[in-house]
Amino acid sequence: MPHNFNVVVLISGRGSNMESLIRNAKNYRITAVISNNQDAIGLNFAKSCNIPIFSFPRASYLSLSEQKSAIFRKVDQLTPDLVALAGFMMIVPKEVTESFYGRMINIHPSLLPDLPGLDTHSRALSENRLRHGCTVHFIDSEVDTGPIIAQAECKVMQDDSTNSLAEKVLKLEHRLYPWSVQNIACGAISLKDGKVSYSKEVISSAYTEKFLIPT
Ligand code: GRF
């Protein structure tokens, strides 16, 4: 299958979701990885795969807003079909979320709309949640709120620690994110009038994979 669906990935650190997107790229191509942090560990893996990397360290810019402008100017120049945020720790400017609406997605380590924001695993534990997981969603102008594409969940066990829970959720993330991107790439998942729509095949594949999709 020709890899003519181009994805740009934005990271800030470890980049394990980026790695999973690269390793599982079947009908899409990661054309570049961009970071706001020149020391992001994930950049090394992308480089070892000969994927162009671009970093925009805060120290090179007079202000945060100039740094963001440089990052998203580069994203624009690359003309991606999809932008995938993967542990990208910056709030995306409103004008960018508007121009990329339906073409920019994020993975978040909770079952949104529950537990938006940071420290989701420790909050899941302290709130005695029975279930936890991750969500892939389209980006809108608020943080962690855009239309939900799919979720993967796990049980929270009595003996779970923040680390064990994070590990369980991360394993789910590494399956859910490539699955979502693959299905967006082939048009089986799309955003129409603010609602996510799914092909019949995707609905059955989500069932097989035990992923949740909003009905
Ligand atoms: C993941 O848990 C992701 O859901 C969240 O940040 C973490 C990034 O991990 N947005 P990695 O950099 O992909 O390893």
Nearest residue (by CA) to ligand 1, atom 2, is 109
Q: Which of 16, 17, 143, 154 for a ligand 1 pocket mutation test, highest count of atoms within 8 Å of Cβ?
A: 17
Express each pLDDT in 86-135 by its tens digit.
999 999 999 999 999 999 999 999 999 999 999 999 999 999 999 999 99
Q: How distant, in Å, are the alpha carbons of 18, 19, 20, 160, 170 from that of 164?
A: 21, 21, 20, 6, 10
- Return the ligand 1 atom nearest residue 85 CA: 10
Share of the chain above pLDDT 70, in %: 99
H or E segment and range at residue 98: helix 94-99
Express each pLDDT in 31-80 by its tens digit.
999 999 999 999 999 999 999 999 999 999 999 999 999 999 999 999 99
Mean pLDDT, the chain, rounded, equals 97
Residue 215 banded pLDDT, cuts 50, 70, 90: confident
Question: Do β-strands 195-198 and 189-192 pair in parallel, antiparallel, or remain unpaired?
Answer: antiparallel
Segment 133-149 shows an average pLDDT of 96
Question: Do β-strands 29-35 and 6-11 pair in parallel, antiparallel, or remain unpaired?
Answer: parallel
The predicted model scores a pTM of 0.97
> How far away, in angstroms, is 17 Cα from ligand 1 center?
6
Model pLDDT, residue 3: 66
Q: How distant, in Å, are the alpha carbons of 157, 162, 165, 166 from that of 169?
A: 13, 11, 6, 5
Segment 19-26 shows an average pLDDT of 97
H or E segment and range at residue 83: strand 82-85
Estimate to the nearest angstrom the gap between the alpha carbon of 201 and the chain centroid: 22
Which is the catalytic residue, given 3, 108, 121, 137? 108
Establish whether 108 is a catalytic residue.
yes
Ligand 1: residues whose CB is within 6 Å? Answer: 11, 13-17, 86-87, 107-109, 134, 170, 173
Q: How distant, in Å, are the alpha carbons of 39, 129, 211 from that of 182?
A: 29, 31, 14
> Is pLDDT larger for residue 14 or for residue 2?
14
Nearest residue (by CA) to ligand 1, atom 5, is 87
By the 10 Å C-beta count (0-12 exposed, 13-18 middle, 19+ buried), 42 is classed as buried
Share of the chain above pLDDT 90, in %: 97
